[in-house]
Amino acid sequence: MTIFESVLLGIIEGFTEFLPISSTGHLIVASEFLGIDQTNVNKAYEVIIQFAAILAVILNYPSKFTFKHIDLWTKLAVAFLPIATIGFIFSKQIKTLFSIEVVAIMFIIGGIVFLIVEKFYDESKHTTSDVEYVSFKQALLIGFAQIFALIPGTSRAGSTIIGAMLCGLNRKASAEFSFLLAFPVMCATTGYDLLKHHNELLVSGNLTNLLVGFIVAFIVAYLTIKLFLKFLENFTFVAFGIYRIVFGILLLLIF
């Protein structure tokens, strides 16, 4: 992997990790387009730059990472349990789903779901406007919705946001809960891949590329979170639904 490819993947990861358009799906497509072989090292690299994007959450919400918010993090832990359990049990089966065709189809399905949800969504009836007020029941239901993110192209952010909206959260609270929930999910994923592939990463000679991609993903993700929340002050998720459908159709036509 070259420096250019590392920077490009870092930008894609940082921009897409927190938007409901599947960072994993975009990384798979970008790797295919650039001709990057999906070796264990390159797959681990993609997960590690995802963790860089997650660190942007800490910088955007430093006050949430204190013992004062232990109740919130207990709820986030509850929301994390479903995907951790299913991901561990069916990890081998999930890996077989990684293909352009699956990504494209799930992009389209996810886009349709967003359009349907937005069609019937009335924010005035969704009274949970702050992540601090999310109940344990809501957290668990959002956690079950996040399981769909195990299918490439579905989007972890997308599935959790949809789950949160259906559970009574408004758009802003749904997005913020998704941001915070990304932290335990990606910590677990990145930690597992580092443990599994640390020797390959050390001897690959790509540590410079990894560092560059890590920094780029972190900066882009930090800015994306801020812009995304500004966007939600005036707009809905309809644009993301349309984008997903168009992107999915293009993938099917091209590949």
Summarised one tens digit per residue, pLDDT across range 101-129 is: 999 999 999 999 999 999 999 988 888 99
For residue 239, pLDDT over 90 is answered with yes
Short-list 54, 84, 18, CA closest to 226: 18
Q: Which residues contact 68 (CB under 8 A, 6 or more apart)?
A: none
Q: Residue 179: which of 140, 244, 229 has the closest Cα?
A: 229
Give the closest residue to 192 by CA, choosing from 101, 94, 120, 116: 94
Share of the chain above pLDDT 70, in %: 94
Q: State how far Cα 181 lies from the chain centre.
A: 10
For 30-69, the pLDDT digits (tens) are 888 888 876 666 766 777 787 788 789 999 999 999 999 9
Q: Which H helix or E strand runs over 24?
A: helix 23-34
Count of C-beta atoms within a 10 Å radius of residue 193: 20
Q: Average pLDDT for residues 223-228, to the nearest whole number?
A: 96
- Is pTM, for the whole model, over 0.95? no
Question: Residue 219 to residues 46, 59, 64, 70, 254: CA-CA distances in angstroms?
Answer: 16, 10, 20, 27, 31
Is the pLDDT at 205 greater than 60, yes or no? no
Residue in 59, 5, 9, 4 with CA at minimum distance from that of residue 217 = 9
> Which residue do the tokens 């799906």 mark?
25
Average pLDDT over residues 23-31: 87
